[in-house]
Structure 1
């Protein structure tokens, strides 16, 4: 099946071709026609399944079909983190490169002046984190009275990060007669409850259950004492110094400490977490994406929205407390048909966490002897 078979218009098809996308992913096949038909939708899909294109393509297409004479925002996309907001904004711009549409990304940690200026000039789409959007709403800089489509992306993470109250306030100022699209990697009770409150007879589409890990990802685990993890990581990184590697840590301070220690051992790395400024996080991410630095150390929240098409390796320096997080972490590699490796370091006290992960994914992760 090709994109044109599911109703995608010529200008977006040209952009898709320029971006070297091939055929639609499973979620795009199911989601694009439903959104074009105006249905509310719940999409259960994890990172790497093409869900941004699944909502961006039909929303761009529908906006392109009727001019925006008033230059007011028509589509609002809410996301949990700045990195994800930037990524979606870039994807929307790329997919809409042949359309006369504009979008604005709104997030905190930077001056609001440019964001306010863009709003005054008029935009079709706003991609925003809830906190900064609430600030601008409170100051009277944003008018959401003409929103036709509301997207809640990574809804489970937005709830985990405490954004539910901001989301409910935003829902009060967008039109009731709108299309609502909710995407989430998991479907806990809180998400079900929220969907029931804000959606009208939604279509439900589920792709790639959270318990599955891509077959093209080679997974392995090292059993090692906690205090020996840093030396092992340095050894692994030095053996394959040209391999781009995303290293996951549980804490911000641990990430900083590890980056400094690796530097003393001749391994250059950059680090992103919630305590870093937006500019520092973006510069670190750009250095990694551009291949100037081959090691990126990140906490889970900061890593949301990192989209590197050919990332060859992920290392879990700390095993995550939540088993589903393991699936999301290693899903950063093995994307778009590329093979990937996922290594995990497991100390004695982390063995119960490994057991829970193995129960979720349905097999024993091979041990490196």
Structure 2
């Protein structure tokens, strides 16, 4: 299978950009959130006009909710919770119905919701959802820790009530790409000594936005260009470049994207963000040491992606065969007369 067969860009016409919800009003607050999660303090919150500041506030509230609820040291769980919610779409025209429905779910119902969200995106991009395994692996635990579920419940309420879906719920990827919620959440959840040991210092979004504006123009960004980031983190640099391309009326789907990071949790966040920001079918996220291989791990990442798509196709073919067999047996039962109707 060639690269072109696996990652085929679909055409897209840039649409007029609506005014983002976060710039017009405060995020909706649900009475149900206060009723079902009494330990989570209600806050009168006004979304900042700056989407990067808004993302930072969401991260702060999620971190506060996680540790106040004694969620523990498994930071992949709150990251995976926010990642799943950020993959949902709540278009402006439908109002806050989706958010209200989620806020009425009980703690034990949330893992099933998150599994369905990740599985829904696995059908389209199995490679990216496989890369994000650390963010949703916990949801498949048949015997989850009840205290962690209460913490997940608190995180869900705090993220939604602080306006997460105002940033990530748009149908238009332009507005979904205005900020990176997972970057401040990942760096905020990690202990300072852990970040120092890893050498993990994410470039601020304001800096990556400036770099993209300076470096990318219509002459530079030709068709079929490859955009690579050897230390991708959660993908903030890729987001800035994608937004710059859209500002120039260029389609990110026409480009090849490759981000790589030695940290599997950062790569998992970048994989989820690649879907949120709609970088296109030729976007790959790897997890490897960029300095250890000549191509920065690209060949290995491409091979893993192709394997993921093949595995998905095999599963779909098996499921289709099972459905076909069941239909055939039902039809056979309808055609065959009952034994008591057969003449002796």
Q: Same fold (TM over 0.5)?
A: no
Which TM-score applies when normalising by structure 1? 0.25
Larger helix proportion of the pair: 2
Larger strand proportion of the pair: 1
> Comparing both chains, which one has the higher relative contact order based on Cα–Cα distances under 8 Å and sequence gaps of 6 or more?
2
Greater C-alpha radius of gyration: 2
Which TM-score applies when normalising by structure 2? 0.27
